Chain A
Amino acid sequence: MEDVLVVKNLKTQFFIYEGVVKALEDVSFSVGKGEVLGIVGETGCGKSVTAYSITRLIPDPPGRIVGGEVKLGNLDLMRNIKDEARFIQKKRIKIKHNYKVIRNNELFFNTIRGKYISMIFQEPMAALNPVYTVEDQIAETLLLHNRTRLLKIMKSASNHLSELERWKDGGDIDIFDDELGEEIDKIKKTARGAESIKFHQDLLIEGARGFSKKMQKYEEMLKKSIERDELEDRLLTDPNPATQQEIIKRLAKESKKINLIKMSKQMKRNKKDPLLIEARRESFSLLESVDIPNPRGVLKSYPHELSGGMLQRVTISIALANNPKVLIADEPTTALDVTVQAQILKLLRDLQDAIGTSIILITHDLGVIAETCNRVAVMYAGNIVEMAEVKELFRNPKHPYTIGLLQSIPRVDDPNKTLKTIPGNVPNLINPPQGCRFHPRCPFVFDRCRVEKPVSIEVSKGHTVECHLFSGKVNAE
């Protein structure tokens, strides 16, 4: 399987008054194309920090990625992480930031986030902006990253205006051989009821008219947008770091920043702008694809008017708006009830089948893992202690921590199971235990565990464990 995202020796630390919190210690994993990778672990084990590190959302200060590599295609996302700041080791550690590098990185990451890697957060209420409508917020990501597609559809629609009008009057329409054709095909397949099709038709025609009025302006815009897309794609495919650097500089220079306030006002005032009309239509069809009842009403509503399950659907539709290569779902169902959780997980799986995005699913619920993931990584205190195919992990857990975790969950289907417990607590990561970080709680602990940090050992194909118990055995064999 082709690897979409490769994480190597990722190391993130938090520099706080009490000391340095070693939140991630050499985390390495990879995500294949179309794969669902589950990351499971207890509170404070570094699941979310991993996700935030990959998307560079760690608040700095106090957090800092101090090393490692995250490769998306040929591009290393942690490329110039070392240039961002220097550490000055005196009595206490001091950090000297290089703001120019940070600003450039930030601009460059705006092209990655939302387009190539997107994220779903645990609290949908906190992830959405309370003062903008759902429509504004979905349209924002489309306008920021997907202009080319929107404009191409509009261009094609303005060329085929008469056919579209005939379609609206009840006639049939041929499927064209371009973006518009795909779109019409999708509308015919997914639209719910005549009213929804009519809404699509109206907006398409309205947008097409607007486009043909100011043809030149929008043609220009399209050309620029295509250029930019090509640049961005080259960034991921070009293996040469020097060219990458050059492209990033260029991107940063002409980086477009969309002002949500301005855009929202524009959308209300400038009803004829085809770009905005198309963004609205696209938002509508995204809401339809995530099974929201009454999507037209929801488009106009504010986050507080919707229930938790509905909000999570909205955030999913935002995350999937640009068909990202990797979707990171950080505890997407933890705040929801089981019946709603079942709805959301089904939705994620259906959408993944349709789009083929790779998903990193972060959760503490082993049940969710068992039902949705292909592969699982078990985390403990900033390390990935075990990684395997999901069936292999549940059938044949190797690491003492994984075994303890599996024995401590109550099962609905097995009421007589005696719950075993893992003694002790998660260690403090400012002064983590020497050697293996699990050794103070481990029932199989021996001398070597207390001094030497275990390395990852492959016990069977695709099943790796970080534990000294297995190193001896493998060597002996």
Chain B
Amino acid sequence: MSKVLIDAVGLRKYFPIKGGVTGRTLGYVYAVDDVNIKIYKGETVGLVGESGCGKTTLGRVLLDLAEPTAGVLFYNPEDSVSSKVSELYKNLKTNKPSELKKEEKKLVEEAKKADVYRNKKRNREFRKKVQIVFQDPVSSLDPRMLIKDIIAEPILINGIPTEDGKRKKIKGDELLNYIREMIGEMGLNEDHLFRFPHEFSGGQRQRIAIARAISIRPEFLVLDEPTSALDVSVQAQILSLLEHLQQKYEMTYLFITHNLAVIRAVSDRVIVMYLGKVVEVSRTDDLFENPIHPYTQALLSAIPVPDPERKRNIVVLSGDVPSPANPPAGCRFHTRCRFAEEICTKEEPKLEEIKEGHTAACHFAREIISGQKKPAPAPTFST
């Protein structure tokens, strides 16, 4: 397998809930809770889950746009260091931020020495290598800037990489030519450069946002629901553009979306999240053909298939997603799970490798795939 590009260990992001006259902290929203993931060079990783499950927060934490409450993030890690730290993190058993800070202090010293991009200088280096495309292209482009300025801004700050591996700052005609070339590649015209964002349609705006993100040739690109505000015909255009760009510039993608059909079309591996936890990680085909976690099974069965002659069984989950501020004890999915038993309400399942390259966090993962465990009668319906 290719080299690890990003290694997140014990990543947690808790948002405090402030209230009362004095603004006390009343509790925490456990948006991302103890997430360990690896992203390999050159692949596209899909991140799926329902709204409010922490997908976007995880994406932001991975780019250091939001500082994690605890946890380390390695970029291009050396195996020896990262495995040592992950060993340490496995012993972290608390989810109270104050205690976490104390515990973590000791091991972060170690981690910081290695390759964590937390201090300013290193952060800058890190930012040159990672970029993000946001969901809503209307609010992510400055309405007062011309398109050429929007695309030029990151280049003026960070420069573009040269062949000898260094970065060089460009300006004037050289810059304009570079942007022209870029915009042509995005499927836009040169005269679009001298317009403002409001003059474009949703699909075109998303192309501009992508152009801005890849203008400094990043290695790692987070795509946060890049197509969910777009129509299907435009979505197809953007997806094929992204595929073309990835091949050309050898980028690694983290593709965040709630649309599973899109995930299947673009990604090599999929991470499924539920209420701040990673519940299943697998290669795409394997996940869609043999989902292990009961949540993934329900999620996959719920996608409408545009084929009226295809009959299938839909597992209808009862109830709503619980609040991430007060997640259920034990397995977070047990309140809606068809397979839940007593152990699920008490003990939290670990993310284990069930098959080669297919991990899931469920107490009964093995029983479910071997068919030994039968689901409790739940509302299913067939089309």
- To the question of whether A and B form a pair in one complex, the answer is yes
Give the interface centre of A366, A406, A419 by most chain B CB atoms within 10 Å: A419
Stretch from B71-79, B245-253, B313-321 at the A interface: B313-321
Judge if B69 is at the interface, Cβ distance under 8 Å.
no
With A293-B319, A366-B306, A419-B239 as contacts: A338 and B264 at CB distance below 8 Å: no
- Interface segment out of the listed A59-67, A92-100, A146-154, A340-348: A340-348
6 example contacts (A-B, Cβ-Cβ < 8 A) are as follows A310-B320, A342-B302, A342-B314, A371-B304, A405-B232, A419-B239
Q: Say yes or no: A408-B236 contact (C-beta < 8 A), given A42-B231, A343-B316.
A: yes
**Interchain nearest-CB distance for A467 vs B (Å):** 17
Whether the Cβ atoms of B317 and A343 lie closer than 8 Å is yes
Cross-chain contact B310 with A413 (CB below 8 angstroms): yes
CB <8 Å contact, B304 and A421 = no
User: B235: nearest residue on chain A (CB-CB)?
Assistant: A408
> In B280-313, which residues have CB < 8 Å from any A CB?
284-285, 288, 298-310
| Residues in chain B within 8 A of chain A (CB atoms) | 50-51, 201-204, 231-237, 239-240, 258-262, 264-265, 284-285, 288, 298-310, 314, 316-317, 319-321, 379, 381, 383
Task: In the A-B complex, list the 8 residue pairs whose CB atoms are closest, starting with the nearest.
Answer: A367-B304, A408-B236, A410-B265, A342-B302, A366-B306, A337-B50, A419-B236, A42-B231
In the complex, per-residue mask of A391-429: 1 if CB is within 8 Å of any chain B CB, else 0: 100110000000011111111110101011110011000
Q: Are A342 and B319 in contact (CB under 8 A)?
A: no
Cβ contact within 8 Å between A371 and B316: no
Chain B residue nearest to A411 (CB atoms) is: B261
**Cβ–Cβ contact B306 & A394, under 8 A:** yes
Residues A338 and B233 in contact in the complex (CB < 8 Å), given A371-B383, A394-B306:
no
Is A307 in the interface zone, CB < 8 Å from B?
A: yes
Q: Which residues of chain B are near A346, meaning CB under 8 Å? A: 314, 316, 379, 381
For B300, list chain A residues within 8 Å (CB). 412
**B316–A342 CB distance below 8 A:** yes
Q: What separation, in Å, do the CA atoms of A425 and B307 have in the docked complex?
A: 26
> Which residues of A lie under 8 Å from residue B232 when comparing CB positions?
42, 364, 366, 405, 408-409
List residues of chain B with CB within 8 A of the CB of A369. 306
The answer to whether A299 has its CB under 8 Å from any CB of chain B is no
Structural contact, A370 and B236, CB atoms closer than 8 A: no
User: Taking each of B203, B300, B307, which has the highest tally of chain A beta carbons within 10 Å of its own beta carbon?
Assistant: B307
Residue of A nearest to B201 (CB): A425
Closest to B203 in A: A425
- Cα distance, A55 to B50, chains bound together (Å): 33
Closest approach, in angstroms, between the C-beta of B380 and any C-beta of chain A?
10
Query: Which residues on A sit within 8 Å (CB–CB) of B51?
Result: 337
**CB–CB B308/A394 < 8 A:** yes
> Contacts A367-B306, A369-B306, A410-B239; is A339 near B317 (CB within 8 Å)?
yes
Task: Report the bound CA distance from A419 to B233 in whole Å.
Answer: 9
Give the distance in Å from the alpha carbon of A395 to the alpha carbon of B314 in the complex. Answer: 23
Q: Is the CB of A415 within 8 A of B307?
A: no
Choice from A406, A408, A415, A426 contacting B288 with Cβ under 8 Å: A415
* Interface check A454, CB cutoff 8 A: no
Q: In the bound complex, how far is the Cα of B259 from the Cα of A172, in angstroms?
A: 52
Tell me, rounded to whole Å, the shortest Cβ–Cβ distance linking B223 to chain A. 15
Instruction: Assess whether B233 is in contact with A394, with CB atoms less than 8 Å apart.
Output: no
Q: Which residues 326-350 in A have Cβ within 8 Å of B in the complex?
A: 337-343, 345-346
The residues of A that contact B307 with a CB separation of less than 8 Å are 370, 394, 413
Cα–Cα distance between A346 and B240 once the two chains are bound (Å): 34
Name the residue on B nearest A376 (C-beta).
B308
Which residues in B have their C-beta under 8 angstroms from that of A411? 261, 264-265, 305-306
State the CA gap A408–B235 with chains docked (Å).
Answer: 8
Q: Would you call B231 and A412 a contact (CB within 8 A)?
A: no
Q: Most B CB atoms within 10 A — which of A339, A368, A408, A412?
A: A339
Separation of A413 and B46 alpha carbons in the complex (Å): 17
Cα–Cα, bound, A405→B233 (Å): 6
Question: Which B residues are in CB contact (< 8 Å) with A364?
Answer: 231-232
Q: Provided the pairs A408-B233, A415-B265, A415-B284 are in contact, do residues A339 and B308 lie with their beta carbons within 8 angstroms?
A: no
Pair A339/B299 contact, Cβ less than 8 Å: yes
What residues on A are CB-neighbors of B231 within 8 Å? 42-43, 364, 426
Min CB gap A346→B, angstroms? 6
CA distance A181 to B151 in the complex (A): 71
Q: Which of A345, A370, A417, A425 contacts B308 (CB 8 A)?
A: A370
Contact between A394 and B309, CB atoms less than 8 A apart = yes
